Amino acid sequence: MKDLILGVETSCDETAAAVVAEDLEVVANVVSSQMEIHERYGGVVPEIASRVHVSEVIPVVAKAMNEAGVSGRDLTAVAVTRGPGLIGSLLVGVSAAKGLALDWKKPVIGVNHLEGHLASASLGADKVSYPCLVLLVSGGHSLLARMSSPGVYAVLGSTRDDSAGEAYDKVARLLGLGYPGGPAVDRLAVTGADVLKFPRPMIRDGLDFSFSGLKSAVANYLRREPDTVRKDVAASFAAAVMDVLLAKLETAMGQGDFRSVAVVGGVAASPVLRQRLAEMSRRRDVLVCLPPLKFATDNAAMIAAAAWPRYRERGGDELDFGADPGLKLPEAARPSTQGSRPGLT
């Protein structure tokens, strides 16, 4: 049997567990989404999220272990998201993972959720070649990183305010499209046209991102023109986001010796973005690695994948590491400089 890490992810509204081998074969992957529960409130309600994680986490882990056909003693380690995310939700996963690891006498590894997304680049069919330029676009973050090998990266640019996913969710609310917003805005966008020419914030201004001005431009426009054609608003908004993402990606590509490009995070599930990336990949003759949809949005396979280089380098963490809702991605990191050490947060 291969060496296996169990990953556990509970940072937001998905309870997830996965079993991943050292060669990153995903042996089992289970995601229990709370989307339907939060939908009626128009967004994630943190207190409800943590309560649902409490009842879901052990059954979800059991299901993943069952699918993989393994028991606790077959594992090499247990990995868990320790931040960033909702504190109550994170605490449930961290406590469950530590309890299981103690019981199974296995090391436990606290993983940064964003490092998980970066690692998801390697879970697709395309083999990532290094150095790899990674664009991470999720609900909480937009960032560009240079990954020189698995788990070794430097941040090149990041979110100044709203992330791309957050802007999608807010615009969805403005358009009355409910939660989750990204897929709904995208579905409407493909039926409309980019006729409104919203601003492209900071498009030629470095590698940091800012989407709150764009969101405000959409809000102001909708106040002025309440009877506008909604599909054109969605299309114009999506086009502005994609123009910015693609422009930054291409600027960064011009600044490094990259051998591949990867796009990860929830917004990487967007068919609009995937189409733009396919066009860019042909035009610039560069390999763009995209995780399959199930590994683009939150999942635990990416958490186990991120844990492997950490485990190889320094084994497990001390058991006293805590959940950290504001955990930052270090500007530059190697597996040996992360985890529960001072300076990480």
End-to-end CA distance of the chain: 37
Stretch of 15-23, 27-35, 218-226, 297-305 contacting Zn ion, by CB under 5 A: 297-305
CA 216 to chain CA mean position, Å: 24
Q: How far is the CB of 113 from Zn ion (least distance, A)?
A: 6
Q: How far is the CB of 113 from ligand KG4 (least distance, A)?
A: 6
- Count of Cβ atoms closer than 10 Å to residue 91 Cβ: 19
Does 298 sit near Zn ion (CB under 5 A)? yes
Is the CB of 10 or the CB of 338 nearer to Zn ion?
10
What is the C-alpha to C-alpha distance for residues 321 and 124, in angstroms, rounded to an integer?
A: 31
Q: Which does 110 bind (CB under 5 to 8 A by kind): Zn ion, ligand KG4, none?
A: none
Q: Measuring CA to CA, which residue among 16, 12, 75 is closest to residue 295?
A: 16
Residue written as token pair 């940091």: 208
What is the C-alpha to C-alpha distance for residues 273 and 108, in angstroms, rounded to an integer?
A: 36
What is the DSSP track for 70-110?
--GGG-SEEEEEEESS-HHHHHHHHHHHHHHHHHHT--EEE
Q: How far is the CB of 124 from Zn ion (least distance, A)?
A: 16
- Residues near ligand KG4 (CB under 6 A) are 12, 138-140, 165, 168-169, 180-183, 186, 265-267, 269-270, 297-298
Site string for Zn ion, 227-266 (x = CB under 5 A): ----------------------------------------
Q: Which does 181 bind (CB under 5 to 8 A by kind): ligand KG4, Zn ion, none?
A: ligand KG4
Does 138 sit near Zn ion (CB under 5 A)? yes
| C-alpha pair distances (Å), 290 with each of 76, 128, 268 | 28, 10, 7
Is the CB of 101 or the CB of 264 nearer to ligand KG4?
264
What are the start-end ranges of the H helices in 145-211?
A: 164-174, 181-189
Q: Which does 297 bind (CB under 5 to 8 A by kind): Zn ion, ligand KG4, none?
A: ligand KG4
Q: How far is the CB of 296 from Zn ion (least distance, A)?
A: 9
Task: Give the burial string for 145-157 (b: 16+ CB within 10 Å, else e).
Answer: bbbeebbbbebbb
On whether the CB atoms of residues 234 and 214 are closer than 8 A, the answer is no
Q: How far is the CB of 114 from ligand KG4 (least distance, A)?
A: 8
Is the CB of 128 or the CB of 303 nearer to ligand KG4?
303
Q: How far is the CB of 298 from Zn ion (least distance, A)?
A: 4
Which amino acid appears at position 133 of this protein?
L
Is the CB of 21 or the CB of 91 nearer to ligand KG4?
91
Q: Which does 309 bind (CB under 5 to 8 A by kind): ligand KG4, Zn ion, none?
A: none
Is the CB of 151 or the CB of 182 nearer to ligand KG4?
182
Q: How far is the CB of 10 from Zn ion (least distance, A)?
A: 12
| C-alpha pair distances (Å), 66 with each of 17, 123, 301 | 11, 21, 15
Is the CB of 30 or the CB of 269 nearer to ligand KG4?
269
Q: How far is the CB of 48 from ligand KG4 (least distance, A)?
A: 17
DSSP state of 335: G
Is the CB of 298 or the CB of 317 nearer to Zn ion?
298
Is the CB of 70 or the CB of 219 nearer to ligand KG4?
219
Stretch of 64-72, 155-163, 181-189, 296-304 contacting Zn ion, by CB under 5 A: 296-304
Q: How far is the CB of 117 from Zn ion (least distance, A)?
A: 6
Binding residue count for Zn ion, defined by CB under 5 A = 2
| Length reported for the chain | 345
What are the start-end ranges of the H helices in the chain?
A: 35-39, 46-68, 87-104, 113-119, 164-174, 181-189, 212-224, 230-253, 271-284, 293-296, 301-314
What is the DSSP track for 307-325?
HHHHHHHH-PPPTT----T
Which residues are near Zn ion by CB under 5 A? 138, 298
